[in-house]
């Protein structure tokens, strides 16, 4: 279909709620204020009291040319005044006593004889004006008061009326209408979720041509629930559906239904659906629906009556919603496990679309979309960046390019280069470098700790997760970091690879023990990670002699009140067996890691010495030390941060379970006894 035909087929919006900003009201207030200011400025002698003269004084000053007449707008005026009787006149203007004094406003009232009038007219300094009527005089006095009263009316009375309506408007929906032209988003701006776009494309086709589905007897889903981790583009995808279908798009958050007054949430739900019916066909998007759709009767001490009333109203409205009305509900959440089961049944949210983290191709597409707004150099390879960012969401990838642009700007570059993107990626994934002052003993301890991690990983790795970089420069909460980047996206966890991760995590502590004959609390993060992996292997993944049995359940729903009184699902004897298996797995990998370090002690010393000298080495340098006993490729020294960067930039917080940062040397922190 051509573009003109498409424009003709657009349906005009019906009963669209008015915008909060109304230009007509602004123009009215500007005109009203301007009228009042003009009236005040027009009023003569507002600030200076005029001098009172007699008619004879005016005649004498006129003959002496002491009446001001240079500006026609300020010329003296002779005006008959019938209120004083026959021949009574009012004379106004500016005059002076002599040539050495200044002109001042004057006012004279009295009887003007024929001789005096001749003398005044002979001076040619006065202009005669007709008599002011009683009606004009009254109007000149009344109109200013009417303007002031009107101003007070609109300032106070009208506001009071609106306040009265506002007190009753708590139950009105807070859904925002996105305009078609200004906020239009299409599928071309959404990348990394091709499967989700295919599913929601049916909604777009239905909104464009409903008869295509209804004539076949099919029904379009009443509601679509988008589920996925934060930052994967659920909200953006919903906006793209509205942009592609070219229909009104109402957006509201689940927390907008929550209010301090009882019954407000249910009323807002009803009003929201009423607005949708008036603007059909349209889309209603509810973001973070878990704030209002949480399971009823959950929580410590029972449920929340107000929230449950809001949920009941939502259930009733969605169940009574006719699909032929052309109103489709799209909701988004990252906690589908806490939603009420009645909300998820067919007839309400008929379809659930999982928006997962992007894969390799998806990450490259996302980077290309966001790279259009950034000046990238020709040397930047987005495919390489995509391979080095597994597990990152679309929002995190956008933040990565933004950090790269900021870093390049601080370095005085005109375009973002590959080194800037690499530094930004390490900052986002592993934390920002912090030039913390350490003495020689702490540097040596950190160097051998990280060298232990790198050595064990380099020896045991099968090429799946090679060592990317080793550094003793503090990052985030760690005094040093050993970074690993997988060659491909990790979809499954194999037993051998998990054992390698445990052995690598033990390498830091073993290096401290072997070289320094002492241990530190720098392995606290490693111990936590190793224990967590081993317990998952035994309790959740069936990777132990205990068999394919799941011991325990997920503790993600504690706040729902279902875990408070739950007893242990296995016996004490089984608990002892679980603890024994966890200890066995960790101890086996500990011995494995220790054998590697003891057998390759010279390589460990070489890696530590390189770290003490250069502070940062790459993974290829570790492999060169293992193969040749020395570093043969050049070491690129990292750029030191600028003074303004260290003082103004926020501290980066590294992720707790970052796939590539295994075994850092964390900063010692106090723990409760």
The H-assigned helical ranges of 168-257 are 194-208, 211-214, 234-245
The distance in angstroms from the start CA to the end CA of the chain is 73
Q: Tell which residue, 376, 373, 311, 305, has the closest CA to residue 340.
A: 311
Could you tell me how far CA 12 lies from the centroid of its own chain? 31
Both tokens of residue 627?
Answer: 């193969």
Is 274 catalytic? The answer is no
**What kind and span of H or E run contains 400?**
helix 394-410
Q: Which of 450, 499, 618, 624 is catalytic?
A: 450
Q: Which residue has the tokens 């370095």?
A: 411
| Token pair belonging to 458 | 């380099």
Residue with tokens 């004490």: 572
Give SS3 for 597: helix
- Residue 265 host element (H or E): helix 264-278
The CB-based long-range contact list for 236-239 (8 Å cut-off, 24+ gap) reads 236/185, 236/189, 236/190, 236/394, 237/190, 237/193, 237/196, 237/197, 237/200, 237/355, 238/283, 238/285, 238/330, 238/332, 239/178, 239/183, 239/185, 239/285
Helices (H) and strands (E) in the chain, counts: 23, 14
Written as six digits, the tokens of 438 are: 């350490």
Q: What is the DSSP letter of 600?
A: T
Cα–Cα distance, 248 to 26 (Å, whole number): 26
> Can you give 456-501 as a three-state secondary structure string?
HHHHHCCCCCCEEEEECCCECCECCEEEECCCCCCCCCCHHHHHHH
Handedness of CA 267, 269, 275, 277 (dihedral sign): negative
Instruction: Please tell me the number of Cα atoms within 13 Å of 198 on its side-chain side.
Output: 5
Could you tell me which of 142, 110, 140, 103 has the C-alpha nearest to residue 125? 103
**Closest among 223, 226, 221 to 236, alpha carbons compared:** 226
Pull the structure tokens for residue 539.
């309790």
**Structural contact between residues 206 and 213, judged by C-beta atoms closer than 8 angstroms:** yes
d(CA 437, CA 115): 104
Residue keyed to tokens 């600030």: 47
Neighbouring CB atoms inside 10 A of 521's CB total 13
Element (H, E) at 621: helix 619-628
Please list the alpha-helical segments (H only) found in 131-229: 134-152, 158-167, 194-208, 211-214
Tokens for 293?
């759709």
Measuring CA to CA, how many Å separate 232 from each of 184, 283, 437, 658? 19, 20, 39, 18
Q: How many CA atoms lie within 13 A of 165 on its CB side?
A: 6
Q: Which residues are catalytic?
A: 450
């Amino acid at each position: 279909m051509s573009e003109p035909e498409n424009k003709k087929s657009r349906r005009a919006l019906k009963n669209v709620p008015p915008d909060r900003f109304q230009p007509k009201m602004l123009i009215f207030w500007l005109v009203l204020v301007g009228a009042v200011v003009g009236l005040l400025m027009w009023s003569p002698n507002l600030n200076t009291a005029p001098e009172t003269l007699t008619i004879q004084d005016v005649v004498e000053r006129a003959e002496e040319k002491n009446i001001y007449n240079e500006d026609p707008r300020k010329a003296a005026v002779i005006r008959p005044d019938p209120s004083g009787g026959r021949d009574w006149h009012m004379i106004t203007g500016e005059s002076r006593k002599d040539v050495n004094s200044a002109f001042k406003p004057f006012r004279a009232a009295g009887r003007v004889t024929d001789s005096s009038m001749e003398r005044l007219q002979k001076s040619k300094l006065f202009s005669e004006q007709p008599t002011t009527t009683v009606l004009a005089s009254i109007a000149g006095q009344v109109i200013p008061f009417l303007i002031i009263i009107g101003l007070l009316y609109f300032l106070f009375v009208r506001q009071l009326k609106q306040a009265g309506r506002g007190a009753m408007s708590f139950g009105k929906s807070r859904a925002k209408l996105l305009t078609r032209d200004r906020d239009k988003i299409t599928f071309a701006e959404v990348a990394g979720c091709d499967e989700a776009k295919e599913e929601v494309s049916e909604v777009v086709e239905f909104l464009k041509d409903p008869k295509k589905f209804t004539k076949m007897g099919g029904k379009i889903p009443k509601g679509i629930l988008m589920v996925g981790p934060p930052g994967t583009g659920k909200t953006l995808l919903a906006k793209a559906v509205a942009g592609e279908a070219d229909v009104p798009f109402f957006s509201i958050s689940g927390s907008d239904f929550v209010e301090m007054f009882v019954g407000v949430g249910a009323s807002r739900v009803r009003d929201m659906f009423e607005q949708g019916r008036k603007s059909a066909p349209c889309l209603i998007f509810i973001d973070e629906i878990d704030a209002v759709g949480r399971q009823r009767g959950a929580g410590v001490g029972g449920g929340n009556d107000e929230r449950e009333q809001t949920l009941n109203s939502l259930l009733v409205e969605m169940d009574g919603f006719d699909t032929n009305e052309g109103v489709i509900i799209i909701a988004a959440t990252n906690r589908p496990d806490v939603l009420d089961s009645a909300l998820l049944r067919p007839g309400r949210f008929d379809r659930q679309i999982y928006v997962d983290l992007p894969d390799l191709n998806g990450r490259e597409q996302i980077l290309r979309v966001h790279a259009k707004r950034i000046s990238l150099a020709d040397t930047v390879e987005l495919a390489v960046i995509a391979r080095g960012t597994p597990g990152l969401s679309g929002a995190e990838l956008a933040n990565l390019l933004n950090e790269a642009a900021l870093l390049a700007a601080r370095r005085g570059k005109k375009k973002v280069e590959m080194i800037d993107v690499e530094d930004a990626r390490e900052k986002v994934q592993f934390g920002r470098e912090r030039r913390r002052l350490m003495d020689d003993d702490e540097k040596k301890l950190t160097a051998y700790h990280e060298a232990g991690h790198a050595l064990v990983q380099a020896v045991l790795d099968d090429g799946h997760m090679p060592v990317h970089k080793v550094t003793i420069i503090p990052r985030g909460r760690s005094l040093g970091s050993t970074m690993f980047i997988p060659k491909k996206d990790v979809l499954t966890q194999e037993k051998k690879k998990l054992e390698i991760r445990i052995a690598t995590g033990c390498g830091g502590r073993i290096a401290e023990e072997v070289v320094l004959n002492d241990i530190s609390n720098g392995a606290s993060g490693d111990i936590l990670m190793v224990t967590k992996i081993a317990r998952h292997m035994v309790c959740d993944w069936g990777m132990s002699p205990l068999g394919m049995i799941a011991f325990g359940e997920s503790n993600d729903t504690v706040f729902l009140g279902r875990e408070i009184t739950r007893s242990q699902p296995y016996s004490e004897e089984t608990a002892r067996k679980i603890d024994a298996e966890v200890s066995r797995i960790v101890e086996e990998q500990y011995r494995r890691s220790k054998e590697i370090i003891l057998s390759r002690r010279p390589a460990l010393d070489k890696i530590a010495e390189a770290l003490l000298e250069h502070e940062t080495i790459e993974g290829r340098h570790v492999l060169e030390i293992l193969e040749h006993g020395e570093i043969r490729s050049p070491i690129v020294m990292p750029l030191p941060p600028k003074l303004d960067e260290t003082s103004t930039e926020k501290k980066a917080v590294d992720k707790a379970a970052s796939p590539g940062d295994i075994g850092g040397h964390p900063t010692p922190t106090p723990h409760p006894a």
